Amino acid sequence: MKKITLPLTDDVIKGLHAGETVLITGTMLTGRDAAHKRLYELIEKNEPLPVAIEGEVIYYVGPAPAKPGHPVGPAGPTSSYRMDKYTPALLDRGLKGMIGKGARSQAVIDSMMKNGVVYFGAVGGAAALISKSIKKIETLAYEDLGTEAIYRFTVEDFPAIVVIDAYGQSALAGNS
């Protein structure tokens, strides 16, 4: 198992290969459909984004409310394909990694290769386990979206697998 620290560098991304398991430490953004749509609309209008995405990793999650004494409740991944329409525009703006579950469209894979980006998978159904690696949570934008707001998570040893690497190779059967 490979340990990596965020933010990702191009050298780290180039050294990651489909099928590798990783433990991620550092800070990452979160966001789901509604937040992605808003970011995309700002990009389309050539307006500034409410968060800097250059060099960032985004986790597709809508975390459950925290229990007392915990920074976050269960925080499992959502299906990544739901962000595919918006993803190439974000990758062109400098996003370096994504965490979710499931396959990605060919347009996203092509954009990943063009921009040197990696896609990690988090284990669906393991939301409570994943939340143990989240040490701190901060709301950054779109608070009106509730759990779908954009947060910054501080994580330690967040478990993931390299699903699609920057070379377009995939760990998913039938998805090259």
Hey, where are the domains in the chain? 2-164
Q: How many CB atoms within 10 Å of residue 4?
A: 23
Q: Does domain 2-164 have CATH number 3.20.130.10?
A: yes
Structure confidence at residue 129 as a pLDDT band (50, 70, 90): confident
User: What is the arithmetic mean of pLDDT over 5-12?
Assistant: 96
Closest CA relative to residue 145, chosen from 36, 48, 51 = 36
Query: Which residues are 59's β-sheet partners?
Result: 30, 99
Question: What share of the chain has pLDDT > 90, as a percent?
Answer: 82
pLDDT digits (tens, 9 = 90+) for 28-77: 999 999 999 999 999 999 999 999 999 999 999 988 888 888 899 889 89
Query: Using CA atoms, how far apart are residues 30 and 34, in angstroms rounded to an integer?
Result: 12
Which residues, 6+ apart, have CB-to-CB distance to 134 below 8 Å? Answer: 63, 71, 72, 75, 153, 154, 155, 158
> In this predicted structure, what is the pLDDT of residue 67?
84
* Mean pLDDT, the chain, whole residue set: 94
Query: Using CA atoms, how far apart are residues 33 and 89, in angstroms rounded to an integer?
Result: 14
Which of 91-95, 124-128, 163-167 shows the lowest per-residue confidence on average (mean pLDDT)? 124-128
